[in-house]
Each structure stands twice: as structure tokens, then as C-alpha cells.
Chain A
Amino acid sequence: MARAPNGNLRLVASGEGGGARAARSPDVDWSILMAHGQSGDAAAYRRLLEDLTPWLRLYVRRWFRDDRDVEDCVQEILLTIHAIRRTYDPARPFGPWLVGIARRRVADRLRKTLRTHGHETDLGEDDDHAATEDENRHSLDRDKLMGAIEALPPAQRTAIRMLKLEEKSLKETSGETGLSIANLKVATHRALKALKDMLSDRSEMK
């Protein structure tokens, strides 16, 4: 072991000795944890990945603003670390190895996002405008329909209102209005036909 200029202990030899545990530099801690992880120590390996994640989030956030992009990229880096963990040599510092992988995955992800953004159109202020216009049209349609229902003969109007708008059953409607079920069915059928004619006429007149 040698003492680095900043006073932190640095692991130079490949030893995984307990003395190095006292090291303050995360680089050394990570190096030791990875060495244990390479020999199959799942707990040490999990601690390493958990320790790395916040650091990786900070690193990745320099390039991505969207939280989903950041998280996806961090996960890709973790997967790569896992896949090529045998390429890490504990005799060498951990930082450059980690940054090498992180930089590579960030570059891949940047390329991918640039490509997808090419297919997307940005919705600016027009977005709000479009929504209001759509709502207007919706309420216009409703007014038109209500007007047409009002113009129907009374029996048909009642049938439509109670059966279709209030969604009552034929039995209930029959009981309340005194009309027979057969009459209600006929009235509904005629009403729907009349409404269809009225509304299509109007749209043609437009």
C-alpha cells in the first residue's frame, strides 16, 4: 500500500487484506468490494452496486435531464459492469475502469436518444390550443344532439331520454310512463332514425 498525495490510502498490490478496509477513499473500498464480488461474495458485490448507483446517477445526470433516461442509463451501466466484471484487475484503481464503462454507455444512450428524438415532434404552445378546440367541438356536438332530441314528438322524446340518456330499463320506463314495452321499443327505434336524419341533414346543410 502507498499513500496518495491527498492522504487517502490507495491499494496498489492485489491483496484483499483486512488492513485496506480502513481506507477512506471510495475508490479503494470499491476495488476491494469488487475483488470480493469477483470471488463470488454476493453480499460484498451487492453493497458495491448499491454504493455505485448514487454516484452513477450523478455522473449520468450531466448528460440527461429526463429521470427515466438517467435511470435507464444507470441500469445499462450496472448490467455492463456485471457482464464484464472479470476484466477488472484489483491491482489497478477502480475509478478509471468504472468511468470507462459509464462513458461508453452514456455515449450509446446519447446516440439512441438523438435518433428517437428525430422521429418525435415537439408540441409547444399549439398543444393547449388544440385541446381547447377539441373541447369546443365536443360541446357543440352535444348541444346539437340535445336540440334534436327536444324537436322529437313527446313519446319518442321520453323514450330516448329515459332509455338512452338515463339508461333506465324497459320495465322501469314502462312503469313510470304507462307506455307498453312494445310501444317504447317502436318509439326508440323511430326516434333514433329521426335523430339520424336530422343530424345528417344539418351537417349536409352546413
Chain B
Amino acid sequence: MITSDLIRSLAEDAKPVRRLRPPLLRAFGWLCVSGVILGALTMWHGVRPEFLDRMREVAYMVAMMSAMATGILAAVAAFMVGLPDRSPRWALLPLPSLIVWLGNLGYQCLAGWEPLPPGAVTAGAAASCLTTLIFTSLPLSLLLVGMLRHMVWFRPTGVIVLGSIAVSALTSASLAMFHPLDATAMIIGWNLGTVLIVFAVMGLASRIMRRRRVQD
């Protein structure tokens, strides 16, 4: 196709579009809706009884706070990085709190490792954990995908990774309020694991397509 023809057809297709609101405002909007969803879920499940006692523990509080901060900062970064005129360095914004969050988690795993009595974590309990987790993070993810859909054209990888970190962190913080077991590892595994699967499928598909094109 000749470039002038392309320009003509693009101009014919120039329907009015609604400009995106500033990225900070959009991130704030997503965080508010996510807060409402997570709040409602927490109410519905009921805050775990020992929540206030546990908030006095430093490790627990650090985990809660750093997860919240990571969620908020990663959401802001995702909305920034998806815009062509913002620096890709915005992707580093959630890094400090992410390190604290994961570091704290790792430290707890090492220092507070107590072999659970056999039968404490059954397949049934793990499955119910996973269901809660899916129902908590799915609405957040879908909303984020809807808001960031134009990013497919621009830095999709960065936006998807940051978005999943945001959803994981917020889900983890809210699950800590109502879920009796600390399921952070499972949450991260679920959210980032899905991302990895998506990337693997995409990579495989593009490789197959490429091979087919070479054969043609």
C-alpha cells in the first residue's frame, strides 16, 4: 500500500476520540474502584479476629504496608509507562517497596519456618484459598486490562508486568485482612505465573508464525 493511500484511509476513519485523562487520575480511579471491591470482599468474609493483634507485629505491619505501597506505585507506573511521551524509567517506581515486600516475605519464610503438622494444609484448603484468590484478583485485573487496552500498541510487556504486580500486591494486602493463612506466595504465583504463561504462549505463537512465513 502506498503511504498516501494509507493516510487517506486513516483520515477517513478519523472518528472523534475521547482523550485519556491524566495518568495519575486514571491510576487513582483504578485504585479507588479496587479499594471498594476489596473492601466489600473483606466485609463479606469478615475481618479475621486476630487482625488488630497481628497489626502490632512489626513483620506483619511491614508486609501489609509494603504490599499496599507496591500496589499503589505499580498501578501509577503501569498508567505512566503505557504512554508514549513518558519515560520508561517510571517502571522502576514500585521497585523499593517491592523489594521490602518480597524481602520481608522471604525473611518470614526463613526465620519463622515452622513445619506444619501433617494435614494442616489439605488439598481442599488450598483449593478454597485459590478460589478466594481468583475471585479477589480477577475483577481488579479485568478492570485494569480494560483501562490499559490501548497499551497493546505500546510497551505491552512493561504494562502487563506492572499491572500484575499491582493486582498481586493489593490482593495480598487485602487477603491478609480476612484470610487466615498468609497466601502471599500463592498470590504472586497466580498473578505473575499467569503472565508468564501468557508470554510463553505469545512467544510460541510468534515463533510458529515466523517459521510458517519463512517456509512460504
Interface positions of A (Cβ within 8 A of B): 37-43, 45-46, 49-50, 53, 71, 74-75, 78-80, 82-90, 92-93, 96-98, 100-101, 104, 115-116, 119
Interface majority SS on A: helix, strand, loop or mixed?
helix
Within residues 46 to 88 of chain B, which ones have a CB less than 8 A from any CB in chain A? 82-86
Interface positions of B (Cβ within 8 A of A): 1, 3-4, 6-8, 10-20, 22, 82-86, 150, 153-155, 210, 214
In the complex the two chains form, what is the Cα distance from A53 to B150 in whole Å? 23
When C-beta atoms are compared, the residue in chain A nearest to B6 turns out to be: A75
Contacts of A101 on B, CB cut-off 8 Å?
84, 154
Q: List 9 other contacts, CB 8 Å, given A45-B11, A82-B14.
A: A50-B7, A78-B6, A79-B6, A82-B10, A83-B153, A85-B17, A86-B150, A87-B82, A100-B86
In the complex the two chains form, what is the Cα distance from A98 to B95 in whole Å? 28
In the complex the two chains form, what is the Cα distance from A90 to B3 in whole Å? 25
- Can you list 30 A-B contacts (CB < 8 A)? A38-B17, A40-B14, A43-B11, A46-B7, A53-B7, A75-B1, A75-B6, A78-B7, A78-B10, A82-B13, A83-B150, A84-B84, A84-B150, A84-B154, A86-B20, A86-B150, A87-B82, A87-B83, A87-B84, A87-B150, A87-B154, A92-B85, A93-B85, A96-B84, A96-B85, A100-B84, A101-B84, A101-B154, A104-B155, A115-B210
Query: CB distance A38 to B19 under 8 Å?
Result: yes
Query: CB distance B85 to A100 under 8 Å?
Result: yes
Query: CB distance B19 to A86 under 8 Å?
Result: yes
